Amino acid sequence: MIERIPFGHTGHDSTRVVFGAAALGGMRQEKADEVLAMVRSAGINHIDVARSYGDAELRLASFLADHRADYFLATKTGQRSGSDAKRELEESLYRMGVEQVDLIQLHNLTDPSGWDTAMAADGALAALIRAKEEGLVRFIGVTGHGTYAPEMHLKSLARYDFDSVLVPYNFSMRQNPVYRADLESLLETCAEKQVAVQTIKAIARRRWTDDDPDRRFSWYMPIRDPDALERAVAYVLGRPGIFLNTTSDATLLPAIFAAAEKGLSVPDDAAMTRDQETLGIEPLFIRDVSDDVRVA
Name all domains of the chain by residue range, CATH numbers in brackets.
Answer: 4-279 (3.20.20.100)
268's CB contacts (< 8 A; 6+ apart) are none
> Sign of dihedral through CA atoms 165, 167, 171, 174?
negative
Q: For 154-164, how does the pLDDT look when each residue is reduced to its tens digit (9 = 90+)?
A: 999 999 999 99
Contact 102, 73 (CB under 8 A): yes
Is the model's pLDDT at 292 over the cut of 80?
no
Q: What is the pLDDT of residues 21-61, one digit of tens each?
A: 999 999 999 999 999 999 999 999 999 999 999 999 999 99
Q: How far apart are CA 15 and CA 2, in angstroms?
A: 6
Report pTM.
Answer: 0.95
- Percentage of residues in the chain with pLDDT exceeding 70? 99
- In degrees and rounded to multiples of 5, residue 251 shows phi and psi of -65, -20
DSSP assignment of 63-82 equals: HHHHHGGG-EEEEEE---BH
How far is C-alpha 149 from the chain's CA centre? 12
Give the mean pLDDT of 98-104: 98
pLDDT per residue as tens digits for the range 234-250:
999 999 999 999 999 99
Distance, CA of 281 to CA of 294 (rounded, Å):
19
In the predicted model, is pLDDT for residue 291 greater than 80? Answer: no
* Mean pLDDT of all residues in 134-156: 97
| Cα 288-21-33 angle, rounded to 5 deg | 155
pLDDT, position 213: 86
